[in-house]
Structure 1
Amino acid sequence: MIHYISGGQRSGKTKFAMQAASQLSSNPVYLATSRIWDTEHQARIALHKQERDHQWENIEEEKEVSRLILPNRTVVFDCVTLWLTNFFSDSHYNIDIALKEAKAEFDLFAAQEFNLIIISNEIGMGVHADTEIGRKFVDLQGWMNQYIAQKADKATLMVSGLPITIK
C-alpha cells in the first residue's frame, strides 16, 4: 500500500503520517532523506529524532532508498522534497536527469511488499520562485509529485492540519 501525503510547509503532514503509521504497525520505520547542510540543520534533525519514541526505527538515507529492504514493514518516507533536492543538486540542476533518476529509484523502492507512507510538499502553490534554479525545482517537484500520486493507493492533502482525502 502506498499512501501519498502532500501539503504546504507546516501543514501537519508528518504528524498525520506518523499517526497513520502507528495505526498500521507497532514498530514503524521513519526514513529520513535530508542531507545535513549545516549545524543549524543538524540541530533541527536531532530535535525531530527526539520527537519519535522507542517504537520507531530511524533510518537515514539521502538518495538510494532502494537498497533498503523493508518487507512487511510500515515506512514513513520523509520527505520527497528533500530527497529530490539531493538528485537535483547532484545532477548540477538538470531537471531531466534528476527526474529520471528519482523515478527509477522510487520504482525500485516502492516495488517492495510494505506499507509506504510518503510525504511531499506542494511547493508550487506558493510564491513564484524568483530564481531560475528555484523555478526549475518547483517544476521538478510538481512532476515527481504527480508521478508518485498516480502510483499511490491513497492520497491525502493536508491543509492547516486537516487531512483532505483526494484519492
Structure 2
Amino acid sequence: MKKIAVFGKPGSGKSTISKALTIATDIPLHQLDSIVYNVDGTLVDRQVYDDAHNNILSSERWIIDGFGPIGSFYKRLEEADTLIYIDLPYPVSYWFVTKRCLKGVFIKPEGWPDGSSVLKGTLESYKTLKMCPKFWNDQFISKLKEPSEDKDIYVIKTVNELNTFVRDHVQ
C-alpha cells in the first residue's frame, strides 16, 4: 500500500478510515474536500484543482479521500495500488451525514474544509446521496471488481466490515 484511493457515498466513513490509515502507515493524507473547496465553501478554479490533484498523483505515496471531478476520479483509480470503496447501505449513510451535522455544531467534522458551513455541506450531502444510485451501482461495482494483478481492491458494505477493516489493516 503506497497509493490509496478511498471513495464512496457521503457519510460512509471515508475520512475516518483515511485518517486511521495515515496514522498507521505515515502515508500523507489528502482530503479532496480541502482541495476542491476554498475556505469559504466555494469551488476552487478547476485548473487549480487539477494541478493540485496531479501533483499528489505524481508523488510516491498518498492516501486520497473523496471523489472530486469525475475525470480526476478515474485517473486516481488508475494510479492507485489500493482501492477502498465504502458502500454502506443508504439509510446508514443518511444517518452518518445527519450525525456529522449534529456533532458539527460542536466539533468540525473530520476532513471538513476550514470555514465551510456544516449545515450547507450537510444539505449538499443529502442532495448527493439522492443522486448516488445513478453512479454507485452494480455496473460500477462489477467494473471495479474486474481482476487486477497490480491493485488491492476492498469493497466495504457494512459498518461491521468497516470496523473490521480498520482493526485488521490499521491497528
Counting strand residues as a fraction of each chain, which structure ranks higher?
1
Q: Same fold (TM over 0.5)?
A: no
Between Structure 1 and Structure 2, the one with more helix by share is: 2
TM band (smaller chain): 0.3 to 0.5
